[in-house]
Every structure is written in C-alpha cells, then in structure tokens.
Structure 1
C-alpha cells in the first residue's frame, strides 16, 4: 500500500477568497481558479497566502524538490541512480521528495514487472513546464553564489 505524504495547507489552497465579480459577490476557493488577471494584479505586489502563485513557491521551497526535478530533466531514472547523481540526499528524503512531486503531478512513477522489480521516475508534462524557471534560478545561483556565501560569512563573523 503506498504511503500518503501529507502536504502542507499552503500546497493545497482551499481558503475562501472574496470575489465580488461573480454571482453578486460571495466566496470561491482558490481551486476554482484565479480571478481574471489575478496574477498580474497582485495587491501591493505581494503573493498573499491565498494566491495561486504561492503554490509554485511552496512546491520549490523544499530543499530537494528543485534538485530532483532538474536531475530528471534528461531522462527517467531509478531512485538509486538519481540518488548517486544528486549526492548528499538520503534514500528516505529522496523517497519523500519523489512522492511529494508525484502527488503534485510533477513526476510519474513507473513500475516494471521484472525480477528484480524496477521502478523509474520521470517528469510529467507539467513538471517540464518548471524547467525554464529552474534553469533561470540555477543561472542566478551560479552568478551570485559567491556573493551569498560572502554574506553568510559576514553574518557569522
């Protein structure tokens, strides 16, 4: 039986949002979709707790999510291969991360009826849509990583 990982409420937004534009006012769930232009017209330029854009930030806030998604960009991989390729991640944390990404529709798990059993993980089309953002984030880290490390050193001094 598969283990269910509980996802934080911020990843499953259901808090009612005031929407005066439909049905003479009332409430709707964030799952109903943003109001037209909601992402472009964020009040005060802030992503509020009930904003759909926060789903992406919350998904990538996990330490390993971005790394695992990026590692799967070229081809499906078995968990052991993925762990060796990434380095520094325990089998337990990798399993939890893969299950969380699968739960959110970003990766797919494929089991093969072989002996020994074989399992592979691959990006879904939805997961692939995150690759340009991850590439941009990685490029930023490459350009500014030294500055961040210097700031950390100054803070610790």
Structure 2
C-alpha cells in the first residue's frame, strides 16, 4: 500500500517483479508483493531471471546485481532459515512446459524428475491460476505468455 501511495503521489507506477515460475507456483501474496501496474519480468521463468542477472553483470563488467542475490537460495523470507522447496535451475523450464500443456510423463522424462514431483508441480500450477489472473499484466517476451498477455499482448 505504501508503494502504491507513493506511486500515486508522484504520478508513477509500481512495477511488479514476479516471474513466470513464482506465479505458477503461487509464490506471491495478492495485494502484497503481487501488486503493480506492470510486470516487466513476468514472462521469464526463474532460471531465465538468474541468467539475465548474470548477463547484466557480465555486460557491465561489474556487479550491478549483487552476486549474493543470484546465488542465495530462493526464499519468501517468511521465517528464519526458510527456503523455497525447489531447485529453480532444475524445475523452471519443466514448470513452464506444464503450464502450456506438456504431460506429466513427458516432463518427468525430459527433465529426469520424479513423476510424483511433476504431479505435485502440475497440481500447484492449477491451484494457483487464480493468482496469475489477478497479477499485473506481463510484458510479452516469448511466444507462450501468462496472464492477460496471453490474450492481449503488451509488446
């Protein structure tokens, strides 16, 4: 609410920083960290966000984005020592494929994941679709986008 108030007072907009993987897994609070008028990286999965961060640092020949942010384990920071239960480098692409219709069996085989783990990922995607529908519009960067960007691309 504070960010929205500040943005309103300066005639600005809060930019959302959720990515495709976090949205699919439901890692975000409606009217909390999912607020904003636009999602700039919402069409990138978590692995691609890490890759983009590394690229930005390499391109600038310095740590524009602190390395510790890139290498630390992801966490919602809701409790001391709590971390997300996924290796995003391993599952981000699998989650994205599940979002767009790949079968559990196909994904399990392609990414050498346990079939029960993939079923759990698919279940989370289905359960959290309501958050994607309420999240800010996503800048469309790829052929397969999430949210309103699937219907009315913002390019």
The alignment's TM-score, normalised by the length of structure 2, stands at 0.29
By relative contact order (CA 8 Å, sep 6+), the higher-ranking structure is 2
| Higher fraction of strand | 1
The alignment's TM-score, normalised by the length of structure 1, stands at 0.29
